[in-house]
Copies of this chain bind each other. A is one copy, B any other.
């Protein structure tokens, strides 16, 4: 009854294109026409699945309803998904089961009007994407929850949209991996690249060579049952699992159990430090290839994906140079240098993988023009992307997508694998098939990894899914912030973990003042933490300090900095002025409240100077704000002092930096 009434009210269908301003969805759909109609959601919401009866689609529909329930408190029955509901709220119509592999059709069409929702897709994998779009279209007018009416025609720009998780340097348990798989599905990513072996850890059970995981992992590894569980979990969410076994370098952990594989004389232990290390496989011994053949026979049977990653990066050649037998081998086999030796190694490995029906993936370093052109290059180095394409190799981009470097989402967002300006023949452009965000794990643990991946990876997901012309940064941030809360419902802890860490450090429930500070702090960027001179990090360093509780691209600081920009355009806007003033005042006042807490907490001592700096620059910011508002002139001395103070405050402490300096400096610079 109520439903019909509301339907009548909104019945006038008026389709308008409202990109960037009102688009709710991230990644933005290819083609999105919104209407004024609304589909009101009621307790009796039901889904009819037509065409094929697929458990993958049924389960996804059930999960979608479950999430809808969580957000609305509506008494929806998530099991109202069936093939036979003539009056269903939603119809899903698919042609066939989707193969979870590269180049599968992932398109979908979603039509919402006041009467019903229709989701059509050639494959169920496309329909899964449509369900995620639908969930992002949820709105409320205060009376009802509804889906905004629209016609969405969507398909991805690139077929390979990946996230690398490095479980080698710090292990990540199954539930962390699963939550991230759900997060990836929510933003339409489709490849989880598991970096399974590193100098610091061999993270997968190997039945043929059990000392690999037994002596190479400190007991932290995936059993094969767990791997099968992860693969199945990912598959029903439309996500492929591509495993990486990095070789010949990055292999110290292999040698803890099997030193005979190494080029040096050992003995070897799991590495606890970080960096480019010396231990490297011996590519000159036949026994190495026999070992790897047996190893890959087991692993290729375990992982169903057609691609397998062999790493190949950052072999510094030192262990080869120090081994006379290897030097002899190079001479005997006419191998000019270590690159040539590694190329010969790669060819042997390729032969093994081909025998087991796998395609090979590797980092830039494996790109040797005389290798067959069906191997895939993952480019982490500047220029590697186009070099690979020019040499005829399919390639995916990771350079620019290093989310471990703690940079703002907009930096990654600006990196387009195929920018307009690119001059490359079409057949070479076609070789550029996507990209991967890389979550290297020197500085993360299972407690912090979600906050380093999310929500920023949503911006990379959009770059890889949406049309190239979707690049409005402020729209992206709006949608990224919106989806971040939605990602929490998948078990991701990126929003919650910081409060927990602050409670743990202080042993106190009231973390208000500490949070006020932490909300405008960010971890240092690029390689400044891992190569810090203050602290020498290892795998067993504590990763629960204040720096770990701070977030990259912190929302509150970002909002402040953007608000300053707006204020400088609209100086008479009293609302913006007041918000800036209140922010700055709260940061000035926070120091006094926080001081006694810092005094009784040794773990907080390292951020005491930041608390002081924030108070001081905020005071300066307040003065500048009022100067600018009143259009008053300040003395050059004041300006110089202020800028010097800000410069001083840019210095990180405890590997943490203040993220509102940009906005405050903009205010100071505007003072004349």
Identify the A interface with B (CB < 8 A).
Answer: 59, 69-79, 140-145, 173-175, 218-219, 225, 447, 481-482, 485-486, 488-489, 493, 495-497, 499-500, 503-505, 507-509, 535, 538, 540-542, 544-546, 555, 599-603
* Contact status B504-A488, CB under 8 Å: yes
* Contact status A142-B79, CB under 8 Å: no
* Contact status B495-A73, CB under 8 Å: no
Docked Cα-Cα span, A212 to B497, in Å, equals: 38
Q: List 12 A-B contacts (CB under 8 A).
A: A69-B542, A70-B447, A71-B505, A73-B505, A76-B540, A77-B538, A142-B600, A173-B175, A481-B509, A482-B507, A486-B504, A496-B500
Q: How far is the CB of A663 from chain B (nearest CB, A)?
A: 19
By a CB distance below 8 angstroms, the chain B residues around A504 are 70-71, 485-486, 488-489
Using CB atoms, name the residue of chain B closest to A179: B175
* Contact status B507-A219, CB under 8 Å: no
Pick from B74, B447, B507, B599: contact of A542, CB below 8 A. Answer: B74
* Contact status A540-B496, CB under 8 Å: no
Question: With A73-B603, A599-B142 given, is the CB distance from A78 to B500 under 8 Å?
Answer: no
Using CB atoms, name the residue of chain B closest to A77: B540
Q: Is the interface of A mostly helix, strand, loop or mixed?
A: loop
Q: How far is the CB of A260 from chain B (nearest CB, A)?
A: 25
Docked Cα-Cα span, A486 to B225, in Å, equals: 32
* Contact status B495-A144, CB under 8 Å: no
* Contact status A503-B507, CB under 8 Å: no
By a CB distance below 8 angstroms, the chain B residues around A77 are 538, 540
Docked Cα-Cα span, A116 to B71, in Å, equals: 53
Q: How far is the CB of A19 from chain B (nearest CB, A)?
A: 21
* Contact status B509-A555, CB under 8 Å: yes
Docked Cα-Cα span, A72 to B481, in Å, equals: 32
By a CB distance below 8 angstroms, the chain B residues around A602 are 72-73, 140, 142-145
Q: How far is the CB of A55 from chain B (nearest CB, A)?
A: 8
Docked Cα-Cα span, A271 to B602, in Å, equals: 54
Which of the listed residues A145, A493, A540 has the most CB atoms from chain B within 10 Å of its own CB? A540
Question: With A218-B79, A503-B495, A504-B488 given, is the CB distance from A72 to B555 under 8 Å?
Answer: no
Docked Cα-Cα span, A465 to B453, in Å, equals: 43
By a CB distance below 8 angstroms, the chain B residues around A495 are 499-500, 503
By a CB distance below 8 angstroms, the chain B residues around A142 are 599-602
* Contact status B78-A540, CB under 8 Å: yes
Docked Cα-Cα span, A508 to B140, in Å, equals: 13
